[in-house]
Amino acid sequence: MKIPDNSVLLVVDVQIDFCPGGNLPVPDGEKVVPIINRLGQAFERVVATQDWHPRNHVSFASNHSGAKPFDTIRGKEGEPILWPDHCVPGTPGAEFHPDLDTLAFDLIVRKGMDPNLDSYSAFFENDHKTPTGLHFYLEGLNVKTVYLTGLALDVCVFYSAMDALKLGFDTLVVEDACRGIDTPPGSLADRLEEMRTAGARILEAVELEEH
């Protein structure tokens, strides 16, 4: 595989709740697993994130009377910010997909633990200033290039990619190693375009393979 030095593979939220059968399923979410496992073998460093919410988390519709999942009550127009309960530590849904090669992970970053603040990005919580610690880790290891994979392409992968760009990393999104929820419909295409415009490269896993 053609992977530049000082690169990291970032595996975003490949958890049971984001796969079919889970509480917040991403269509075909489980299909990313074999691709990510293969990519993980080729990288010197692999970092995974886990969405990790207490039961009283502000992003759960169940904690707002009268609200239902995918309602928008604040945040940007058209952006769903209330979700079904998901990724609660101690529940099966919070665990990584069972076929994911977690032995390849150098670091696992958990995010979204503050009951009053969501965290889509692997780098900052949704106030866009509280760090998760990932930036310090990557900087400390002189990482220059971040390859993103995982779930959901139009939520946590998207916000992670946008922050990676802002932080000055060369940012590549391995599209077939990601799946999106596309809610509302069309948002997935918009966000791919937004990432491209901001300077991310969108590629397929096969492009990393040696010919």
List contacts with Zn ion (CB under 5 A). 51
User: Whole-number minimum distance, CB 118 to ligand VGL, in Å?
Assistant: 7
Give start and end residues of each alpha helix (H) in the chain: 32-42, 134-140, 156-166, 187-198
Tokens coding 78: 């058209």
Does the protein bind ligand VGL through residue 175 (CB under 6 A)? no
Residue of 148, 151, 200, 208 interacting with ligand VGL (CB under 6 A): 151
- # of chain residues touching ligand VGL (CB under 6 A): 8
User: Among all residues, which ones are annotated catalytic?
Assistant: 13, 111, 156
Does the protein bind ligand VGL through residue 17 (CB under 6 A)? no
For the chain, the residue count is: 211
d(CA 207, CA 182): 25
Does the protein bind ligand VGL through residue 13 (CB under 6 A)? yes
| Neighbouring-strand partners of residue 151 | 179
Residue of 94, 138, 152, 195 interacting with ligand VGL (CB under 6 A): 152
User: Whole-number minimum distance, CB 51 to Zn ion, in Å?
Assistant: 4
Does the protein bind ligand VGL through residue 83 (CB under 6 A)? yes
Which region among 71-79, 95-103, 152-160, 196-204 touches ligand VGL (by CB under 6 A)?
Answer: 152-160
CB 8 within 8 A of CB 47: yes
Is the Cβ of residue 32 or residue 209 nearer to ligand VGL in the bound state?
A: 32
CB 100 within 8 A of CB 37: yes
Is the Cβ of residue 51 or residue 163 nearer to Zn ion in the bound state?
A: 51
Is the Cβ of residue 30 or residue 51 nearer to ligand VGL in the bound state?
A: 51
d(CA 165, CA 29): 25
Q: Is 30 left (phi over 0), alpha (psi -120 to 50) or beta?
A: alpha
